Amino acid sequence: MSRRAWFLVSVVAALIGLGLVFLYSATAARCENARLADPLFFLRRQLISVLVAVGAMIVASRIPTAAWGRLRWPLLLFTFLLLGLVLVPGIGRGKSGHGAQRWLDIAGFSLQPSEMAKLTLALFLCGTAADAERLRSFFRGFLPTFGILLLACALIARQPDVGTAIFLALVMGLTLFAAGLRFVHLAPCALLAAVGGWLVVGRMGHVRARIDTWLNPDAQPLTSGLQVKQSLIALGSGGLWGEGLGRGIQKLYYLPEVHADFIFPVIGEELGFSGTMGILALYLLLGASGWSIARRAGTRFGFLFSCAMTWLILIQAAFNVAVVTASVPAKGIPLPFVSHGGSALIFTMIGIGILIRVANEGEGEKCAVSSSPGGEPAVTCIPASR
């Protein structure tokens, strides 16, 4: 592997390793005292997911990037099939007490199609956007591309999973704009989609309730406001250096979802502000690595996918931290590589595998974003000195 690929793998390995440590810290006492009587329950499941994810990453890194571009249509159609199946009563399932239908049981494993959609949409949109001239055409490029993105977001929002739909629209819209999509096409359609989405979302009672709780968490401190209040208590009680690894209190039945979306407050309580800054520093290093790989991708597809995958990870991490610090309304988005969850980890690691391939193929090339005559971004790739 190239030096850039090794650096990326090292950062990802550090995040996964820290995630395993804090997953055990956050769940061991609960699992031992619960009917499971197994302190390793969540850790064992995550270790299996890590092994599968690493294998998937290795396989993905062996496939040429040109082949990923050709596979974008079959992968997209398969993703739409799964997104449709998850909405069928009796096939898709939810989790007890969550009220959402987002999972499929396949061969004894639980699959979340929206996590697959993050990867396949990135592959499809970047593969389509690799044809710069076609992308700048309204009917041949923009309309079908933007329409597919809206359809995917609508299916995910129907589960309902509004936060993931908004997140995907933001990241993929940013990717298309960086690819050179004409602003005069994007702006009015994005505005209409945003207004239409807001009108639909405004009718969803659970979304309004989450916004109300975010604005006034003290109104229901023992029910809907409990999670975010306990999260802030955990982060605040850690101080600068934390209570010490394994010595956190909020994970002991006070803070819900500590193994998934709210594992960051556990880190804050046990390692303090310095520990949380260390985690965020790793994400910044991952972002720098992804941008370095993108700049030397050598092809438009490689450049755009590297940007899209990096933004998917960084913006998701930022979204998770914003939720647990009450900066935005609560939404179930995990912390990449750290939170418990097989689907999210496996598909993210496949994306990392593709980044590794882009890094290995792009040695000696350099890409950059420049302005086109019309003022929109344009990607150019030229040979670069080593």
**What pLDDT score does 371 carry?**
59
Q: Which positions ≥6 away from 172 have C-beta within 8 Å?
A: 121, 122, 125, 149, 308
For residue 179, what are its two tokens?
A: 């690819």
Rounded CA gap, 150 and 197, in Å? 10
Of the given ranges (59-68, 219-228, 328-337), which has the lowest mean pLDDT?
Answer: 219-228
pLDDT tens per residue, range 98-145 = 557 788 887 667 889 999 999 999 999 999 988 878 888 888 888 888
What value does the mean pLDDT take over residues 171-178? 88
**What pLDDT score does 185 carry?**
80
pLDDT for residue 12 is more than 80: yes
pTM greater than 0.85: yes
Task: Region of 333 please: left (phi>0), alpha (psi -120 to 50) or beta.
Answer: beta
Q: DSSP class of residue 89?
A: B
Q: What 3-state DSSP class applies to 1?
A: coil
Extents of the domains making up the chain: 3-383
pLDDT for residue 235 is more than 90: yes
Rounded CA gap, 15 and 313, in Å? 12
Distances, alpha carbon 232 to alpha carbons 6, 219, 227, 338, 385, in Å: 36, 16, 9, 19, 49
**What pLDDT score does 96 carry?**
47
Helix (H) or strand (E) holding 168: helix 162-179
pLDDT for residue 329 is more than 50: yes
**What pLDDT score does 370 carry?**
61
Local confidence band at 382 (pLDDT 50, 70, 90 cut-offs): low
pLDDT for residue 97 is more than 60: no
